[in-house]
Amino acid sequence: MRFTDEQQAFATAVREFCARECGTPAQRDELTDGGKLDTSRKLLERLAGHGWLGVSVPEAYGGAGAGMVEECLFLEETARGLAPIHAYGTGLTAAQTYLRHATEEQKKEVVGGLCQGRIEAIALSEPGAGSDLGSARLKAVADGGDYVLTGQKTWTTAAHLADHVLVLTRTATGAKKHDGLTLLVVPLDAAGVQVRPIETMAAHTVNDLYFTDVRVPSANVVGEVGQAWRHLMRGLSVERLIIAAMSLGAAERALDDVVAYVTQREQFGRTIGSFQAVRHRIADLATEIACSRALVYEVAERIDAGEEDQLAREGAMAKLKCTEVAKLATLEAMQLMGGAGYAREYGMESQVRKALAPPIYGGANEIQREIIGKSFGL
């Protein structure tokens, strides 16, 4: 697509901010407690000060009132700049459900907080319900004017940093497994909520959540009781686009770094980038990334044109393609950099670790392939 002057200026401003505020390993270590966290509250607050968080959110709820094209530019450039704000993408995903189905008070509190730099979480998966969310079992039992929650959620991103978590609960058992599911917003400081980190190969990102007789008012229902499945199915194109845009930026950063390396590293009396075997692999990566970028912004443009509910196939394609390309780009970059790619000093090993999770979360890529295949009547 052809970007407007304003959109290009916005992307440039975000790129320059990242270079200035988190462009060095030392800066990123300072922002993330030596790399232990994947999200910096301090950096989110600085971005909020520029009015860039929630750029696609309506002004009534604290955003800039722009579109998904601008939001993707922000996500792409911050990922490319290695800005430690991973939890923002999760909060932005949760915001899509709030914006469609929440009360005005919930929107102003939760979505407004996101735009101010606060962190929000969403808890869908359970030990026995990942891709099959219809099997969710965490109970929410009506008791007077409250709901009482009992059960466990897992793989919950940013729960250790968030103010609230949007929880998928079971309020009834219906004829179909997708009936009787309800969304509730739960303050993470509520009595009976326990957050335990899950150790992974990357920085602290995900958590187990345990709910023991957690009491929340019925006013905390988001949308309609028993209709969570329908609510969650709407907006999936935006969620997948958010992940795609972040992965696009990650792929671009891997390409930037490997090109910088192969144009400086010399072997056999010349730079290794001058060897055809290396040039061709760089060419293939650059082409894959260019195709991914075209797909991201085509989907973003169509969402801004009001076609969001018609993009199940394209949204799945964007998520599938960009996450796979980001994984490919980081692994290829590591190989082309040799031992330097494996060394912490150069940072590529960190990019590899971060690129391995997106093909799994937000709907595993195997599920995306199913969606795409079924869209052809297969």
Choice among 76, 239, 308, 324 that is catalytic: 239
How many CB atoms within 10 Å of residue 299? 27
Catalytic, 345? Answer no
Give me the phi and psi of 103, to 5 degrees please: -75, 165
Annotate 317-362 with DSSP letters as a single string.
HHHHHHHHHHHHHHHHHHHHHTHHHHSGGGSHHHHHHHHTSTTTSS
Annotate 13-53 with DSSP letters as a single string.
HHHHHHHHHH-SHHHHHHHTTTTTBSB-HHHHHHHHHTT-T
CA distance 254 to 168: 36
Cα 217 versus chain centre, distance: 29
Helical (H) or strand (E) element with 268: none
- For 315, the token pair is 């949204």
CA distance 168 to 153: 9
> Could you tell me the CA-to-CA distances from 210 to 162, 195, 205, 245 in Å, in that order?
15, 7, 17, 32
> Cβ neighbours of residue 242 under 8 Å, at least 6 residues apart?
71, 75, 89, 92, 93
CA distance 242 to 70: 11
Q: Which of 344, 342, 356 is nearest to 250 (CA)?
A: 356
* 153-165 per-residue burial string, b: 16 or more CB within 10 A, e: under 16: bbbbbbbbbbbbb
Catalytic residues: 239
